[in-house]
Structure 1
């Protein structure tokens, strides 16, 4: 028996009702899910420790080495593990239960952070621990990103990613000054101990997480073959190819402009430490607000075009920063930069989670991490040379053009793709 006809008015009413229900998939909706709350709490507590580690590690390295080159060594210790281990981490994340991968990564990082809390007077130990902590993140992050879709509905992905991102940004804004004060008054060991404790709490929370992950198929291919399959998918899938190209261009820009923002503040805006702090705060305010505004778009926030538009917005901001000489204008631009960065990252993660088959997500997330860090390293090297040869404005003009190219390339190559990021072409 055929279904009764629906009048045009009735169809519109049903469609509008459905869209309103989808658009209400905000933070309250995902926070009502116990398993998501557990993951959110674990990620947030872990972020508290990361903020303490990030804030104090550069200060410690500077004290031990007395040189900017020594601080650059700590940055390399963060990047190199991604380049070495991402091809292995992705296939392992797709083979093993992701909760177990995350707990194991947390426990390994707990031991490393505790070692640094007790023994941080040797620069070799500091570099080794920084390397190990970054290596743990190489496994933890793609596992967490791949796990999230099994905890919430597809229409809730943007809200779920926004909740995690906003908590991370708020933690950085509020806790970075506290961590710096703790290190300067009580000593570096206490800040690193805080990081170790955060990994322990995160592991305990994750052990109780019951995720309904799909059963893993029996895999006979080696890890290296599986890794090549993921890179092949990035080459074959039109949306992933567009995202990879845009991200490579964006990382080639952002590595230098982020690291040299302090130089821009001093040489172009003539702002001291307080002005530089305000600039970082402006980015933080924008980064916190961006995901909250994004959740109001409902399913429209999973449009790949938003990722590329965010790159374009950041490109405009870099051009503005290279052109202006007043701090208030720069602060306003940096708020927009923060909004573009956070909303773009949330949409990017949500698109990957809904577009890529479940059994390939770990490899795809790891592949994008590899692209980002490789181009970030190139950007750091080229940015310093460019700044010394042509001045800081040249760095920001070039960075802005690269980001605008990333946005334009992505919008052009993805123009006829489905607007929600779904694709029947994502091969199994």
Structure 2
């Protein structure tokens, strides 16, 4: 199934960081998102600091990060499926309203002294649920707001929004905590969601046009997982994302403990620490133009990981708060370099029909790293020492740089992922019940022996695409009597799934298919045959072992 929506006008010949602001809807959603992000970072500071004052356990403090991240681990995939199947505007209205209600409830309870450390964790978990359902939709709509050449800039600007909020939100939140109460911060966060809700409410989103039979929830979930499984570029990014977020979780989960317990400073200093981190990230975005022309994704990620090695070492050993401010500033630059590299690679590497699902898998892996990392580093801090935990995290991140060898990151900006719907259709396919099946498709080639090696390599790439887009089995066989006659086959569960598989094929995939067909040497084009299971017999019969038959007599 391929999806299409109205696309924005083409960008100017030269795309810059600011190009997405040419589009009014992107501007409006970006500004509303910035306000909401400020409220979220105020909430994060208030929540962590409130738990820090309500308990003496470093583990409970670190679990605030887990409470934020774990819902993404549980809900990212269902959220991605819904974002690909259901109207995204309605889902955004639902998630923004839910988070506004939860934040307001937490604020009311806190102002009335009716909250405990475990209660804060519970409300944080609920907010994490709303964020988990919201995040894949929020990232996926970027493709509807700006054209593909400007998508990388849009992703960077969304990162800038979050990091501007990180720069000012903690400072505002820390000041309100110091002079008033965490409860007021929670109430303001509830209000911040209303601006986003209003912008989305007035968004006149064009209806999605789909090709092929509609997917059900379970089928769409399987399709998303299968796409990731057979996309080396995607699972390479996922491996490196988990390694990075697992190590970076030490900073996010323990920086408040460093400020409060090791340096014996106030919530204001904690807020300023996070503000320096956010300021560094905004600066990193402004430097992205130079970095984009001089550094590839591999180099950006490696630099960012090495910077975080230094961050964890500094948090463990440095006692001067002003030096730590500078460290956090550099860490913010590194964070933006790494996260935009991951996110841009993922979004540019997948077609629109599966985009939200793949984004949700990426976010699931990222949040899983943060959740598990927060738990591991918090436990180490409680049972050994804070310094040991941070140094161990630094060692992990240093070792993770080796992942660049098996999982190199490549630019995806030049990929053409438009649907290749101009291929010939099967005669009489409209009369076939979409639930009929299974279906086996065979393509017969004539390949000279001198080309067998090249054909085998090209066919292996095509086989991966067949499996990625819906085939249950795929392979290549040679005719024993006529070795130059080689048949490719793939096996699909139903005719409807085969139709979806047809519409998922992209222009980029056609390049792989063309490489296979160029090795065909017959006078006619390769012969394609569609075989549908005979309706009055079982589809596939599995032979019963002889020993079993003897025992039944």
Question: What does 1:273-422 correspond to in 2, within 5 Å?
Answer: 273=266, 279-296=273-290, 303-306=296-299, 308-318=301-311, 321=314, 325=318, 327=320, 330-387=324-381, 391-410=385-404, 412-414=406-408, 417-418=410-411, 420=413, 422=415
Task: Give yes or no for the alignment of 1:58 onto 2:52.
Answer: no
Q: 1:86: which partner in 2?
A: 76
Gaps of 5+ in 1: 1-19
Q: 2:186: which partner in 1?
A: 192
Comparing 394-403 with 77-86, greater Cα deviation is found at 394-403
Task: Give yes or no for the alignment of 1:160 onto 2:154.
Answer: yes
Q: Deviations over 1:333-367 (max 9, x none)?
A: 43322111012212322222211111212111211
Q: Secondary structure in 1 aligned to 2:287?
A: helix
Q: Deviations over 1:100-151 (max 9, x none)?
A: 2112110111222222233331346544432221111111111011110121
Gaps of 5+ in 2: 1-11, 418-464, 470-503, 505-553
Normalising by structure 1, we get a TM-score of 0.81
Partners of 1:119 and 1:383 lie apart in 2 by 30
More helix by share: 1
Task: Give yes or no for the alignment of 1:248 onto 2:238.
Answer: no
CA contact (8 A) 2:62 2:374 kept: no
Deviation (angstroms), 1:203: 0.4
Question: What does 1:221-260 correspond to in 2, within 5 Å?
Answer: 221-260=215-254
**Which residue of 209, 213, 223 corresponds with 1:215?**
209
Q: Deviations over 1:168-219 (max 9, x none)?
A: 2222322322223324444444322211211111100112224457424566
Q: Deviations over 1:212-251 (max 9, x none)?
A: 5742456655434432332332222111111111011112
Q: Secondary structure in 1 aligned to 2:209?
A: coil
Q: Deviations over 1:398-426 (max 9, x none)?
A: 323433444432354336x4564747768
Deviation (angstroms), 1:152: 1.1
Comparing 143-152 with 167-176, greater Cα deviation is found at 167-176
Partners of 1:207 and 1:86 lie apart in 2 by 23
CA-based RMSD of the aligned residues comes to 3.4
Q: 1:143: which partner in 2?
A: 137
Counterparts in 2 of 1:281 and 1:129: CA distance versus 1, 3 Å: closer
Structure 1 or 2, whichever has the larger Rg, is: 2
CA contact (8 A) 1:81 1:131 kept: yes
Counterparts in 2 of 1:116 and 1:219: CA distance versus 1, 3 Å: farther
**Which residue of 203, 208, 233 corresponds with 2:197?**
203
Task: Give yes or no for the alignment of 1:43 onto 2:71.
Answer: no
Partners of 1:375 and 1:402 lie apart in 2 by 12
- Higher relative contact order by CA 8 Å / sep ≥ 6: 1 or 2? 1
Counterparts in 2 of 1:421 and 1:370: CA distance versus 1, 3 Å: farther
CA contact (8 A) 1:118 1:189 kept: yes
